[in-house]
Copies of this chain bind each other. A is one copy, B any other.
Amino acid sequence: MSQAAEGYNVAVVGATGAVGQKMIETLEDRNFPVKTLTLLASKRSAGKKVSYKGQEVEIQEALPESFEGIDIALFSAGGSISKQLAPEAVKRGAVVIDNTSAFRMDENVPLVVPEVNEEDIKNHNGIIANPNCSTIQMVAALQPIRKAYGLNRVIVSTYQAVSGSGTVAVDELKAQSKDFLEGKEMKAEILPVKGDKNHYPIAFNALPQIDLFQDNGYTFEEMKMINETKKIMHLPELPVAATCVRLPFFTSHAESIYIEVENDGVSVEQIKALFQDAPGVVLEDDPASQKYPTPLSAEGKRDVFVGRIRRDLDNSKGFHMWVVSDNLLKGAAWNSVQIAERIVANNWLK
């Protein structure tokens, strides 16, 4: 019996988090060939139970020895946990798919969005990095255009959901919204960045800071979008600019993207046609019937949705578009499970 038929020993690290929960759900929804499922988290969460395919699975404390016998480990418990435990998992023979920023820019670690650079997986040395949520949906949408007409430039402004900052941020938005509507003072303790000095209300507001500021005045989130896009697309010289903004909604990131293609004379209709059979990308674009994706309409779906495609009025190679996807699914859990599926399908476990 092949391993594929028998199934794989899968571990999820960070099983109680917003993304970890979605990873477990996605493994189930996709009917991933799981032989055993090991759920790992901090000592604090050990003993809690999570449902998988109708069975209760007990969460264990994540330790180096937890990875004995594991084939595939999906990590989403923060960068420091990944830095500490991913090498331990690899040492014990597991392939790690890591959803943190710990290894993304490591040149020995492939950074993968299957619709864009699936082939990079096979060069892995035990760890494959899952890109930043806002990067994934952008490159998935840009790849068909780049393949057909080339790509000279990207400028993106994001509209990002609070769940990207975890369940504590989701709870904060709920509590603040309720307090505001009841005329009470809003308490801000989590956003924009839990570990930063100042916190501001997100309810009925917009915060132009996601992750910490870097020395160049960009936030780390913005630099992730810039650097990861170049790495995933194998376009190290592509000019990419990003402004990342946190907004008061729970799920899905939206992006207003301006691009310039290489070819001249490309029409909006040609761009739209590319998405007819682009893997993982769905065109929702009809101004006449007010059809365009929104965070609420994309929630719970694995696809990346593209709308509002229109030509720049001054630059014949310029196009604007609006890209939306569920940040916990394609932006995190689904892209990770999808990498696992491609590993299994291509026999890239090693």
Task: Count copies of this chain in the complex.
Answer: 2
Q: A155 at interface (Cβ–Cβ under 8 A)?
A: yes
Given that A258-B241, A290-B197 are contacting pairs, would A248 and B204 also be in contact in the complex, using a CB cutoff of 8 Å? yes
Count of residues in A whose CB is under 8 Å from the partner chain: 59
Give chain B nearest CB distance to A268 CB in angstroms: 7
Are B310 and A218 in contact, with the CB atoms below 8 A? Answer: yes
Identify the closest chain B residue to A312 (Cβ): B241
Q: A6 at interface (Cβ–Cβ under 8 A)?
A: no
CA distance A247 to B309 in the complex (A): 20
Contacts of A292 in B (CB 8 A): 208-209
Contacts of A243 in B (CB 8 A): 157, 256, 308, 320, 322
CA distance A249 to B290 in the complex (A): 22
Interface string of A246-268 (1 = CB under 8 A from B): 01111000101010000000001
- Within A183-210, the residues touching B (CB, 8 Å) are 192, 196-198, 200-201, 204-209
Q: A33 at interface (Cβ–Cβ under 8 A)?
A: no
Contacts of A174 in B (CB 8 A): 181
Given that A208-B254, A239-B315, A295-B205 are contacting pairs, would A308 and B248 also be in contact in the complex, using a CB cutoff of 8 Å? no
From B205, B290, B309, contact of A213 by CB (8 A) = B290
Identify the closest chain B residue to A199 (Cβ): B290
Contacts of A73 in B (CB 8 A): none
- Within A264-293, the residues touching B (CB, 8 Å) are 268, 287-290, 292
Identify the closest chain B residue to A154 (Cβ): B314
Are A294 and B207 in contact, with the CB atoms below 8 A? Answer: yes
